Structure 1
Amino acid sequence: MTRRSLLTAPAVFVSSGLRRTGDVVIYSDDRFYSAFPSVARLRNGELILAFRRAPERRRLGARGVTHTDANSQLVLVRSRDSGRSWTREPELLFAHPLGGSQDPCLLVLRDSTIVCASYVWIHVEPAAHSAVPAAVWLGDYAFQGGYLVRSRDGGRIWHGPITPTPVPGRDVPDCYGAPLPAYNRGALCQTRDGAVHWAVAYPKGRDRSAGTDIHWMTSADGGLTWRYRGPIASDSRVSFNETSLYETPSGALVAFVRTAGLDDHAVVVRYDPRAGRWQGWQDAGWRGHPFHAVRLEDGRVLLVYGYRHPPYGIRARILNPECTDFAEAEESTLRDDGGGADLGYPWAVTLPGRRALVVYYFQRHDGTRHIAGTWLEY
């Protein structure tokens, strides 16, 4: 059933200046498939960690695991001691009334409002597929697009769902024939002017083989309403999807992008505020996905990502404050003991005293998918 374990060891240098000081199992229950976490630090120092939880269907006779489930819900756990211990029973963050939710992405705004972005799949009986106009399908699940919820009391009560605007000019219907709401997995970003920025993925059309590209949306009211600003990156050969945004000290926005059709290479796109436009996308030259970036106490940037190739695990790089050295920054291996490609999706949070906690979902020997973490010092 539910278990937690704290694994500590002498500090191990995983790269020059970065030390791994221990791992922790944050949440594991063999009745559930737990995955796709994000973590945030509240003003009072409390950590909240949200993740997607669904029944472990293999325990109910299924042959394998799946990332779509009508019973997948968003839940969260809390820690008041910098991640060493966590609440035992998850709180329900949100259960969408239409279907199964995925990938809760947390952002704490400067006024302490918490925004959480997610998206939803609706189960459709096989005989009814032709009656549902959705453009995007995964087996018997039709895609309903993205939504957001918000909390103003530290994640105790959530309000929503808020439906974001679709990307204009695309013929991509949802399950009810309306334009598909924008969506994505990855970190939203509040810039110094208070605006919230979101890099959303979107199908190029009804033909799924055309792939997806990414677009820029902003909110001036803390995520309640959204304005479409334009494309970030699109390519005829490469698809762009899961994206995290980061604001540098110069005011530039940097997008760290997952790809398809590029041998799993990371892509970086930069917004130049002086020119008022996104520059062309750049191949980082190394593999991994998806990404999360967080500013360290010394101004550098910790970039974490999953590694779904042997040896399976979690990796990281420390970038300069403007994130211009992504191609040559030294790679650190945080975990290399995963049981296969179904793991990763790390998210990092900084802690006082030049420390950080990186959370992710993990499994050994194709076992229970659980939420784990690694402590770092730098």
Structure 2
Amino acid sequence: MTRTDRVIYRDSGAYCAHPCIARLRNGHLLVAFNESPPRRPFLHPPDEPRTLCLVVRSTDEGSTWGEPRAAPGFLTTGVECPSITQLDSGEVLLIQWRFAWFPLETAHKRAGAGEEFVVAGSGLGEAAPIASEADWPLAKLPWARTDAGLFCSISTDDGYTWDETVQISTAPFRRGYSPRPPVQIADGALLLAVASHDARGVLYTLRSTDRGRTWLPPTVVSDSAVLSEPTVARVGADRLVLLARHDASGFLFQQMSTDAGQTWTRARQLPIWGYPAHLLSLSDGRLMAVYGYRRPPFGIRACFSQDGGETWDMRHELVIRDDLRNTNLGYPTAVELSDG
């Protein structure tokens, strides 16, 4: 493999991370990602109310990139990692979990009315849910968040503007999050796999039959292990493969469906160590998983399946990068270009 590295966006005064890439029918590439103000130590999106989603575009298959645009707009801040994709109809979907943010004192008052809040610690991974009055001193920064919901923004002009944004109900689950986009199945419906993002770690899917305007109630995929950040690829008319992150082991877990997502096999651990993953069905019939490698040598790797996910060729695991500094190495995302 010949590797060419290009910087698509850099801002030394910001923390930029968590990209998702899509290739449009006109050949353009879109990358949606998060940008946050610089802090020391830095904060991931769930702890930073000023996180903004940006979309950057290439019209020459990644050789050059334009200036980023806020998506769906500058008023939407404090969001989780975005996913982006184009449908067969040409519409582009941008999907994000959103938080509602309050000054710490306001959140303290509202908590008495039964709302659930999380306060930010002073660094990465130090956020703390408020279970009782005794937890409020855990806050190290002057704000708190609760959940606003899962939202789908729709563009009819290849992601230049966003015509409408609809909320996707996740009930009975409080949350639904994944940084990877929905997959379009044979009948044109969309299947979005998300995680409950709580202590249970339930995976479930949401289905839309009208190109993202409305969504059917959740269908549980897995509740046997604490999993998160699922990614799905279509490998046949009704055959789907799902990979998910398993923090306890660091390995990817896999499930499969042969009926377009109506039912799923039980989650099984793969020999692939690394997370989170992005699944991609290639034009030559192979299935590719690209994932972060969060132990020395820190980097990004990929693995391939020749049989639709039944087996994975770990003997030929592809090391894309092995020179990154630490575990904060981003969420790798992949797309196939016109030359394969």
TM-score band by shorter chain is: 0.7 to 0.9
Q: Distance in 2 between matches of 1:275 and 1:52?
A: 30
SS at match of 2:106: helix
- Does residue 217 of structure 1 match 2:206? yes
User: What amino acid is the match of 1:156?
Assistant: Y
- Does residue 339 of structure 1 match 2:328? no
Q: Which has the higher contact order (CA 8 A, sep 6+)?
A: 1
The more displaced of 343-352 and 182-191 is 182-191
Q: What's the counterpart of residue 41 of structure 1?
A: 23
Q: Distance in 2 between matches of 1:37 and 1:276?
A: 29
Residue 94 of structure 1 is aligned with which of 62, 72, 86? 72
Q: Does the CA-based 8 Å contact 1:146-1:184 persist in structure 2?
A: no
Q: Distance in 2 between matches of 1:54 and 1:273?
A: 40
Q: Distance in 2 between matches of 1:247 and 1:134?
A: 39
Q: Distance in 2 between matches of 1:96 and 1:201?
A: 27
Q: Distance in 1 between matches of 2:287 and 2:43?
A: 33
Q: What's the counterpart of residue 34 of structure 2?
A: 52
Quick one: structure 1 residues 302 and 329, their matched pair in 2 at CA, closer, same or farther if it must change by over 3 Å? Answer: farther
Q: Between the two proteins, what is the percent identity of the paired residues?
A: 28
Q: Does the CA-based 8 Å contact 1:187-1:292 persist in structure 2?
A: no
Q: How does 1:8-23 map to 2 (within 5 A)?
A: 19-23=1-5
SS at match of 2:105: helix
1:96 CA displacement: 6.9
Q: What's the counterpart of residue 197 of structure 1?
A: 191
- Does residue 245 of structure 1 match 2:245? no
Q: What's the counterpart of residue 231 of structure 1?
A: 220
Q: Distance in 1 between matches of 2:26 and 2:237?
A: 28
User: What amino acid is the match of 2:211?
Assistant: G
Q: Distance in 2 between matches of 1:167 and 1:217?
A: 11
1:272 CA displacement: 2.3
Q: What's the counterpart of residue 316 of structure 2?
A: 330
Q: Does the CA-based 8 Å contact 2:150-2:169 persist in structure 1?
A: no
Q: Distance in 2 between matches of 1:275 and 1:198?
A: 10
Q: Does the CA-based 8 Å contact 1:134-1:142 persist in structure 2?
A: yes
- Which structure's residues are more often strand, by fraction? 1
Q: Distance in 1 between matches of 2:86 and 2:283?
A: 18
Q: What's the counterpart of residue 167 of structure 1?
A: 171
SS at match of 1:218: strand
Q: Distance in 2 between matches of 1:104 and 1:202?
A: 16
1:260 CA displacement: 2.7
SS at match of 1:228: coil
Q: Does the CA-based 8 Å contact 1:248-1:321 persist in structure 2?
A: no
Q: Distance in 2 between matches of 1:307 and 1:200?
A: 22
Q: Which digits, 9 at most, give the CA deviation of each residue in 1:139-187, with x for residues without a partner?
A: 233332321101010111113331111232x5x4xxxxxxx5x332223
Q: Does the CA-based 8 Å contact 2:193-2:230 persist in structure 1?
A: yes
Quick one: structure 1 residues 266 and 46, their matched pair in 2 at CA, closer, same or farther if it must change by over 3 Å? Answer: same
Unaligned runs of 5+ in 1: 1-18, 58-62, 173-179, 355-378
Residue 107 of structure 1 is aligned with which of 76, 80, 85? 85
SS at match of 1:352: coil
- Does residue 300 of structure 1 match 2:279? no
Q: What's the counterpart of residue 53 of structure 2?
A: 74
Quick one: structure 1 residues 121 and 317, their matched pair in 2 at CA, closer, same or farther if it must change by over 3 Å? Answer: same
Q: Does the CA-based 8 Å contact 2:150-2:170 persist in structure 1?
A: no
User: What amino acid is the match of 1:137?
Assistant: V
User: What amino acid is the match of 2:253?
Assistant: V
User: What amino acid is the match of 1:72?
Assistant: T
Q: Does the CA-based 8 Å contact 1:201-1:241 persist in structure 2?
A: yes
Quick one: structure 1 residues 193 and 329, their matched pair in 2 at CA, closer, same or farther if it must change by over 3 Å? Answer: farther
Aligned-residue CA RMSD (Å): 2.1
Q: What's the counterpart of residue 360 of structure 1?
A: none
User: What amino acid is the match of 2:207?
Assistant: T
SS at match of 1:128: helix
SS at match of 1:166: coil
Q: Does the CA-based 8 Å contact 2:170-2:218 persist in structure 1?
A: no
Q: Does the CA-based 8 Å contact 2:185-2:260 persist in structure 1?
A: no
1:98 CA displacement: 6.5
Quick one: structure 1 residues 318 and 101, their matched pair in 2 at CA, closer, same or farther if it must change by over 3 Å? Answer: same
Q: What's the counterpart of residue 318 of structure 1?
A: 304
Q: What's the counterpart of residue 14 of structure 1?
A: none
User: What amino acid is the match of 2:61?
Assistant: S
Quick one: structure 1 residues 144 and 20, their matched pair in 2 at CA, closer, same or farther if it must change by over 3 Å? Answer: farther
1:126 CA displacement: 2.7
User: What amino acid is the match of 2:270?
Assistant: A
Q: Which digits, 9 at most, give the CA deviation of each residue in 1:252-295, with x for residues without a partner?
A: 1111101232x111000111219952111110133211111222
SS at match of 2:168: coil
Q: Does the CA-based 8 Å contact 1:189-1:245 persist in structure 2?
A: yes
Q: Distance in 1 between matches of 2:178 and 2:26?
A: 29
Number of matched pairs: 312
1:229 CA displacement: 4.5
SS at match of 1:278: coil
